[in-house]
Amino acid sequence: MTATAAAPAAPGVRDDDLLRVEAVDGGHGSTAVLFGVSLGVPRNGLCCLMGRNGVGKSTVLQTIVGLLKARRGRIVFDGDDVTKLKPYDRARAGIAFVPQGRDCFPQLTVRENLRVVQEARRDLPKSGIDDALDLFPRLKPLLDRPAGFLSGGQMQQLAIARALVTQPRLLLLDEPTEGIQPNIILEIEDAIEQLKRTAGLSILLVEQYVDFALRLAERYAVMDGGRVIDAGDTAGLADGHVRRLLAV
């Protein structure tokens, strides 16, 4: 026995995960929102982060990309501690973020929305836009339309396509199905599945639709009151377990 044995890893976090959020406290300005949040995104896998409105899910994503500060704890990406890196450097390291509400420039066309990302990052290969469009063929006939005229589903696809232009290794998706009609939700599910399978991406998905999320996920985490109250592998998860937690 040694006196300095390492603390056991939190449930739902593994040493070889692409992203590890370790015991992070954070919040907005002086408002504390997150308390000891730990979760992991497996390499080439998907972790779904669930919880009712206001529990801190979006705050977790904003802290991972560096828009908000972690007051305690660490964020480790591909073995490197990125906790103190600026958002731009985290993006360059391969972390892309699609915020809730699918930010696009409404006056710019679909093509321009994609080009803006490409222009901002001259280190990126030119094929990024075509690859992103191949995943969302519905956007191809809309390239010259201002983004403000797209439907909610089309705009969500554009928001994800914009993130893909940066050719990330980790994609953070904040409620991509919110307010979107069911047939487009299925297309987004297909696209996420394809990103994992063919592009080798790892994904952290914040999602209210439990069935949708669990169909795609190898890992899950459930939050309440700024804390992770349960996390682990989805394999062998008892039917209704997550639903019971969410009904607390």
Ligand X SMILES: Nc1ncnc2c1ncn2[C@@H]1O[C@H](COP(=O)(O)OP(=O)(O)O)[C@@H](O)[C@H]1O
Which positions touch ligand X (CB under 6 A)? 28, 31, 33, 51, 53-59
Number of chain positions touching Mg ion (CB under 5 A): 3
4 vs 31, which CB is nearer to ligand X?
31
Q: How far is the CB of 55 from ligand X (least distance, A)?
A: 4
Q: How far is the CB of 104 from ligand X (least distance, A)?
A: 20
Q: Using the rule CB under 5 A, is 58 a contact of Mg ion?
A: yes
Q: How far is the CB of 206 from ligand X (least distance, A)?
A: 7
12 vs 51, which CB is nearer to ligand X?
51
44 vs 100, which CB is nearer to Mg ion?
100
Residue 33's binding partner out of Mg ion, ligand X, none, with CB under 5 to 8 Å set by partner kind: ligand X
CA angle 202, 119, 77 (to 5 degrees): 25
* Residues of the shown chain interacting with Mg ion in the complex, contacts defined by CB under 5 A: 57-58, 100
